[in-house]
Amino acid sequence: MNEFDINNIWNTDHQEAFDHYQSLSDIEKIAKKQSGNILYKIRRNMIIEFIITLIIAVAIGLAILNWDIMLFSGYVVIMVISVYISFREYYKCHIMIKHVNQKNITKAIKDYLDILKNYIRRTKIWVNYITPVAFITGIVLTVISQSPGENLTNLLLHIGLAVLTGIPFLILIIWFANKKYINWVYGRQYENLKSILQRLESYENGS
Amino acid sequence: MEDFKSVIDKYYPLLYKIGRSFTNNKADFDDLYQEMLIQVYHSMKQFKGKSKMSTWIYRVALNSAISYSRKHKRKEREISRDNFNLHENSSDEKNDVNEREKKIELLYESINELKKDERALILLHLEGKQYDEIAEIMGISRTNTGVKIMRIRKKLQRILTKKGYERI
């Protein structure tokens, strides 16, 4: 029967460990795995967000059609445009993330951060500034289309007053809700990616 | 306090051995190795220096390995150990190197047949840890540690005997 010295064999198994260690850049592996998880969450959130946008838009559209009124015709137009813009933003972001070169993980994470930063910035602009404007435009278009005999100056004056009293409040609510929402859905992921990059850079500088 | 890089520089053979003892193919090994690195990385913030660094590393790495092994229980049984080729050997390699590698492979294969906590205990024992330290890492009593290790060694011996080897 062959001899088998467990302790001796156990203690000689260093070369393979060394070879394996040489082939690994440990921190890069961690960064790759963690950033992969974060990106997965970001893309998943984007898809969920778009699907919800689409469902709400379709539901409102169907409700308007069922009521058989064109009172909110202005809103329908604005809504279709919003859905199109949302889709374009999601798709653009998705493609940009997909095409990031992952060979250099530090560079890849920097690119992901840039893409996400731009996405958050654009979302903020759309929701904080464009949405209230679109909302008001919807009101103006609807009211004008529903009041054919009215004096346009009087009509605009009334609308103007309503807008002036309502819009600061509207912007404040949208701004606050959007800030919380973006932080909840994307902000945490952005911060996590940033901290991975910082660790990676400090590791690279230290080694 | 030591930084991540110096900790890994020092303990990579240990992580490697734990990884090999708890997986039976290269893909799982890589996965577990990364998992252990991540756990060590995150846990470093919580290391207060109350125990020895090595004790703490063993605890973190073994906990990761046991929990990984639990999650991948089914898969572990399905995949043959033949899939574990970390390095391709060329045909002109010396016989003694092949023999040594064969024995290393056989040792891991035998350890893999043990239960998860038995693998952890024998690993610590083979690493030359004293019963006190093993007891601290595993959270069991010193006496229990001694008894269990004796049993595991016998069990390992039976496994190796079945494979045609005699432990000395």
At B40 the pLDDT is 83
Residue B19 belongs to a domain: yes
Residue B22 belongs to a domain: yes
At B76 the pLDDT is 52
Higher pLDDT, residue B27 or A68: B27
Which residue among B80, B101, B123 closes a domain? B80
Q: Are residues B118 and B71 in the same domain?
A: no
A contacts of B17 (beta carbons < 8 Å): 10, 13, 17
At B80 the pLDDT is 47
What ranges do the domains of chain A cover?
Answer: 28-206
Across residues A111-137, what is the average pLDDT?
82
Decide if B160 and A4 are in contact by the 8 Å CB cutoff.
yes
Predicted complex: ipTM over 0.85: no
CATH number of the domain that residue B167 is part of = 1.10.10
Decide if A26 and B86 are in contact by the 8 Å CB cutoff.
no
A contacts of B166 (beta carbons < 8 Å): 1-4
Q: Is the pLDDT of residue B52 over 50?
A: yes
Q: Are residues B106 and B56 in the same domain?
A: no
How far apart CA B165 and CA B137 sit, in angstroms, is 31
CB B41 within 8 A of CB B7: no
- Measured between CA atoms, how close is B77 to chain A, in angstroms? 24
Q: Are residues B41 and B98 in the same domain?
A: no
Higher pLDDT, residue B122 or A31: B122
Higher pLDDT, residue B166 or B41: B41
* Residue where the block lists tokens 């059609």: A65
Residue B87 belongs to a domain: no
Residue B99 belongs to a domain: yes
Per-residue pLDDT of A23-33, as tens digits, reads 556 667 777 77
- Taking only residues 33 to 72 of chain B, the set having a beta carbon closer than 8 angstroms to any beta carbon of chain A reads 33-34, 37-38, 41
How far apart CA A14 and CA B17 sit, in angstroms, is 9
Q: Are residues B15 and B59 in the same domain?
A: yes
- For B42, the closest chain A residue by CA position comes to A30
- The helix (H) or strand (E) run that includes residue B146 is helix B142-162
CB B12 within 8 A of CB A21: yes
Per-residue pLDDT of B73-112, as tens digits, reads 655 555 444 455 544 445 555 566 677 778 888 888 889 8
Across residues A27-41, what is the average pLDDT?
78
How far apart CA B120 and CA B122 sit, in angstroms, is 6
Q: Does B156 touch chain A (CB under 8 A)?
A: yes
Which residue among B45, B80, B115 closes a domain? B80
| Angle value at C-alpha B160, between B159 and B166, nearest 5 degrees | 140
At A75 the pLDDT is 67
pLDDT exceeding 70 applies to what percent of chain A?
78
Q: Are residues B74 and B147 in the same domain?
A: no
Per-residue pLDDT of A92-103, as tens digits, reads 888 888 888 777
Which residue among B13, B47, B80 closes a domain? B80
Q: Is the pLDDT of residue B148 over 90?
A: yes
| Band of residue B12 on the pLDDT scale cut at 50, 70, 90 | confident
Across residues B116-144, what is the average pLDDT?
89
Query: In total, how many domains does chain B have?
Result: 2
Q: Are residues B76 and B96 in the same domain?
A: no
Decide if B166 and A12 are in contact by the 8 Å CB cutoff.
no
Least confident of A27-31, A157-161, B116-120: A27-31
Q: Which of B4, B38, B107 sits opposite A9 (nearest CB)?
A: B107
Across residues A146-166, what is the average pLDDT?
75
Q: Show the domain range for B21.
A: 1-80
| Phi–psi pair at A4, nearest 5 degrees | -145, 100
Higher pLDDT, residue B125 or A21: B125
Q: Are residues B28 and B8 in the same domain?
A: yes
At A193 the pLDDT is 85
The overall average pLDDT reported for chain B is 80
A contacts of B33 (beta carbons < 8 Å): 24
Q: Are residues B67 and B116 in the same domain?
A: no
Q: Is the pLDDT of residue A116 over 60?
A: yes
CB B168 within 8 A of CB B158: no
- Of the residues A5, A8, A24, A26, the best mutation for testing chain B's interface (the one with the most B CB atoms within 10 Å of its CB) is A26
Q: Are residues B73 and B107 in the same domain?
A: no
Amino acid identity of residue A119, one-letter, is Y
How far apart CA A53 and CA A181 sit, in angstroms, is 14
| Band of residue B6 on the pLDDT scale cut at 50, 70, 90 | confident
Q: Are residues B46 and B10 in the same domain?
A: yes
Q: Are residues B111 and B56 in the same domain?
A: no
At B79 the pLDDT is 47
At A70 the pLDDT is 56
Q: Is the pLDDT of residue A90 over 70?
A: yes
Least confident of A59-68, A134-143, B87-96, B127-136: B87-96
pLDDT exceeding 90 applies to what percent of chain B?
11
Higher pLDDT, residue A12 or A67: A12
At B150 the pLDDT is 92
Least confident of A106-115, A156-165, B6-15, B31-40: A156-165
Q: Does B2 touch chain A (CB under 8 A)?
A: no
* Residue where the block lists tokens 């701004």: A175
At A33 the pLDDT is 75
- Of the residues A16, A19, A34, A35, the best mutation for testing chain B's interface (the one with the most B CB atoms within 10 Å of its CB) is A16
Q: Are residues B50 and B96 in the same domain?
A: no
Across residues A49-63, what is the average pLDDT?
81
CATH number of the domain that residue B59 is part of = 1.10.1740.10
B contacts of A7 (beta carbons < 8 Å): 126
Q: Which two tokens stand for residue A172?
A: 């404040």
- For B108, the closest chain A residue by CA position comes to A10
